[in-house]
Each structure stands twice: as structure tokens, then as C-alpha cells.
């Protein structure tokens, strides 16, 4: 069996996109989204075709969640850089190569077409994006998450909804995850460990002050840039403080007891995951055996983590105490927030000779505004400027004014 697909331009000229054979699927995107084909297919040999109507597909996908994973991979392949540019457009963005896979998403390198700005494009897997509850929650929280601006948190620029899934547009940052770094190094030395913990806490403190918790802090979601500056990834799956996590979202090996039990989550849930991450950086392994998922969950519910010094004797007592406190079964016995944790971490850094890290300066922006007024309006103008200055001060914005008389 052999067939080929064509795409026609505005002049009616046809371009061959490729040849397909036995077992290949045609029209999967249209089946998934309801959008019309932008190509046609010609048989080059006699062939037997199996057809699936969209209504039947919807019924099947409800009963077979694995089908949605399969469709995610089909959609993902559409944005491969070897395909025509038109096939790689996602709203204002063009996707190129795949740069990462995760449990919740596939990540592409991309470009904003108008601004020529490089971006990362994260496509949510369909088994999440097609859940109505997830969609509603995600849309409600997207504005808050996109407004976050901190040197240790990946910036989210935009949200696109296409192909019956969600695309999160993020800043593109070069580096490697803590997970990859641990794979190479086995353990992270003491000074970088404490430095990394301080940076993660600074990012979490900022998010928590905006009433947002991450709920999936782990080594895969911490990106280390070449200058050892950290970015926390995947805030696109964050939630408001006080959320009841009925889906038990998160990575099992890092989940706090209240997360396992689908109870209300708060800052202390992120603190627990931070403690597990710290344990892993120091020892090169996570605290509990992971060959049995049910047993692992029970251990998170019933067992305090082991002493990291038993596996890594050179671990300072102060860092050991930090890790054990962060991972207490009872949230009331943990650090209550990232600010509290940040009081201990710099002292631990001083003990091991870690130089203090200067905060990364946030780049400043400047806007010009020209107010044109007559001499008879000077009193009103001064009142207006006093009001603007007062409002700007509350927002932490600096105003520089200059007068240009008799323009």
C-alpha cells in the first residue's frame, strides 16, 4: 500500500508533502480538532483503508485514555522542523525542534513571528488538557502565573489554545536540570547545594507571597544555567494556596503526606518537596525505595525520612537539620514558609564558606508620556502629577519628570 499527500497554494499549484505506506495515519489532526484538512491524498497503489469518524473517536477516547497519549505524540510530530512552516504555526509562534519531554507536556524551541524573539513552547498532553476541570482551573490561574516576574522563576509570556490542547509560551533558557546534573555528578557538592536551595527558596517566597504554590518541586523542574543561576520551571501547573488536590498532582517521590491524601495544600507542601530535593542533591538518591508505588505512597504518609548523614557523613549537622525539618510528616512541624527557611539557609552557607550571592538585578523598563497643558491648567496639572506620583509610589514605580515650557 502506498499513497502520497499534497498541499496546494493560492495559485492552485500542488506540492508533495510526502509518501506514506502501510500503518500510517492520515487526517489525525482533523479527527482530533475538527479543523478541515489543508491537504489531499492520492493513492499510488491499490489499498485497504480503515476509517474512523470523529463521533466514534470521541466515544473511544473517553473509554481509552491511552488513545489521548497516542494523539499527543501525533500532534507533537506535526511541529517537527522538517515539516513545512505552515504546519508548525501555533498562534503567533513557530515551533521548531523538540527540546524536552515530561509527564505533563512536550517542550519545543520556538520563535515569536512578529518580534523574532526565541521562546520555549510547552504543549500540554491531551489527557490533561481535555479534562474540563483542568481547563477551567488553568484558565483562571493563567493570568496570575503569567504576571509573576522573578529572577528564579521561568517567565510565562502567553497561552495559546489549539488542537484541543493548551500551549504555554515561556522564556527560552539555556542550561540543564538538576536531574541531569545529578545523573552526571551522582551528588551535588555542599556549596552548590546550599546556593541552589537559597535560590529555590527565593523563587518560592515570591510565588507564595502571591498566594501561588508550585506543588511539583523536584529535580526535573529546577534548571541550572551556565552561571549556576537557577530557574524554577513548570509553574504552569501551580495552584492557589488552599487548593484541595483531588487529582494528587505532582511527582510521587516528592509528594507531601497531605498531597498523597488529596487534602488542602499550602506553602508547606512546597517546603516538603524542597526537602526531598535537598536530600537527593546531598545523597544522590531519594529517601524511600521506589520499586513499589503503593509502598512509596504509604511511606510518605507514615514514615519520617531517614537521616541524610547516614548516607553522606560529611553532611553538616545544620544542613541535616534543615532537611529533616523541611520533610516532617506534620506540616505544623516543617518550616511554615520559604521566608522562614531563608533565615536558616544563609547561616548554613556561612558555615561551609559559601560566598553570599548578590541578587540578580531585574532589568528595568522605561516609558515616555507627554502631557500637554496650557498656563491656565497649571493647578490642575500639579494635582494630577501628585496623584500619579502617589499611585506610582504604591506600585514601586519611579517617576522622573522634566518640564518643556512654551513648546
Phi, psi of 200 (to 5 degrees): -60, -45
DSSP per-residue letters across 186-237? SS--HHHHHHHHHHHHHHHHHHHHTTEE-S--SGGGEEEPTTS-EEE--GGG
CA–CA gap between residue 241 and residue 244 (Å, rounded): 9
Sheet containing 156-162: which strands, arranged edge to edge? 89-90, 93-101, 105-112, 118-124, 165-171, 156-162
228 part of the active site: no
> Residues 216, 266, 270, 344: which is the catalytic one?
216
For residue 68, give the nearest of 77, 58, 78 by alpha carbon.
58
CA–CA gap between residue 125 and residue 202 (Å, rounded): 30
CB 214 within 8 A of CB 235: yes
Q: Measuring CA to CA, how many Å separate 266 from each of 146, 234, 241, 324?
A: 20, 17, 5, 19
> What is the Rg, in whole angstroms, of the alpha carbon atoms belonging to the chain?
26
CB 125 within 8 A of CB 105: yes
Q: Is 50 exposed, middle or buried (0-12, 13-18, 19+ CB in 10 A)?
A: exposed
DSSP per-residue letters across 68-101? HHHHHHHHHHHT-TTS-GGGGEETTEEEEEEEEE
Q: Measuring CA to CA, how many Å separate 103 from each of 4, 68, 107, 256?
A: 34, 13, 11, 19
CA–CA gap between residue 230 and residue 340 (Å, rounded): 20
Dihedral class, residue 12 (left if φ above 0, else alpha if ψ from -120 to 50, else beta): left
Residue with grid cell 518643556, as numbered in its chain = 404
Report the catalytic residues: 216
Amino acid at each position: 500500500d502506498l499513497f502520497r499527500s499534497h498541499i496546494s497554494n493560492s495559485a492552485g499549484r500542488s506540492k508533495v508533502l510526502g509518501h506514506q505506506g502501510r500503518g500510517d495515519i492520515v487526517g489525525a489532526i482533523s479527527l482530533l480538532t475538527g479543523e478541515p484538512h489543508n491537504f489531499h491524498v492520492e493513492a499510488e497503489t491499490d489499498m485497504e483503508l480503515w476509517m474512523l469518524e470523529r463521533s466514534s473517536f470521541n466515544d473511544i477516547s473517553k473509554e481509552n485514555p491511552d488513545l489521548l497519549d497516542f494523539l499527543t505524540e501525533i500532534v507533537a510530530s506535526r511541529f517537527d522542523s522538517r515539516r513545512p512552516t505552515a504546519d508548525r504555526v501555533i498562534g503567533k509562534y513557530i515551533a521548531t525542534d523538540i527540546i524536552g519531554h515530561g509527564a505533563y507536556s512536550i517542550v519545543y524551541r520556538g520563535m515569536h513571528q512578529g518580534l523574532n524573539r526565541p521562546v520555549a513552547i510547552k504543549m500540554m498532553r491531551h489527557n490533561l488538557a481535555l479534562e474540563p476541570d483542568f481547563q477551567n482551573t488553568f484558565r483562571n490561574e493563567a493570568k496570575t502565573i503569567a504576571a509573576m516576574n522573578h529572577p528564579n522563576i521561568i517567565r510565562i509570556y502567553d497561552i495559546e489554545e489549539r488542537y484541543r490542547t493548551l500551549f504555554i509560551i515561556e522564556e527560552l533558557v539555556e542550561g540543564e536540570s538538576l536531574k541531569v546534573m545529578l545523573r552526571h555528578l551522582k551528588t551535588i557538592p555542599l556549596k552548590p547545594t546550599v546556593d541552589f536551595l537559597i535560590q529555590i527558596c527565593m523563587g518560592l517566597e515570591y510565588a507564595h507571597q502571591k498566594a501561588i504554590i508550585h506543588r511539583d518541586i523536584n529535580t526535573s523542574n529546577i534548571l541550572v544555567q551556565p552561571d549556576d543561576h537557577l530557574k524554577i520551571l513548570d509553574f504552569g501547573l501551580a495552584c492557589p494556596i488552599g487548593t484541595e488536590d483531588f487529582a494528587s498532582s505532582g511527582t510521587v517521590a516528592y509528594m507531601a503526606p497531605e498531597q498523597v491524601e488529596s487534602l488542602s495544600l499550602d506553602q508547606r507542601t512546597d517546603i516538603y518537596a524542597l526537602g526531598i530535593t535537598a536530600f537527593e542533591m546531598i545523597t544522590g538518591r531519594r529517601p524511600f525505595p521506589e520499586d513499589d508505588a503503593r509502598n512509596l505512597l504509604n511511606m510518605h504518609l507514615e514514615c519520617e525520612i531517614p537521616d541524610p548523614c547516614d548516607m553522606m557523613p560529611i553532611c553538616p549537622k545544620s544542613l541535616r537539620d534543615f532537611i529533616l525539618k523541611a520533610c516532617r510528616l506534620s506540616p505544623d512541624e516543617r518550616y511554615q514558609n520559604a521566608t522562614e527557611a531563608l533565615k536558616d539557609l544563609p547561616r548554613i552557607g556561612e558555615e561551609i564558606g559559601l560566598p553570599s550571592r548578590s541578587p540578580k538585578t531585574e532589568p528595568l523598563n522605561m516609558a515616555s508620556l507627554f502631557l500637554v497643558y496650557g498656563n491656565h491648567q497649571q493647578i490642575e496639572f500639579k494635582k494630577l502629577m501628585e496623584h500619579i506620583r502617589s499611585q506610582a509610589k504604591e506600585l514601586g514605580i519611579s517617576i522622573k519628570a522634566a518640564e518643556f515650557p512654551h513648546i
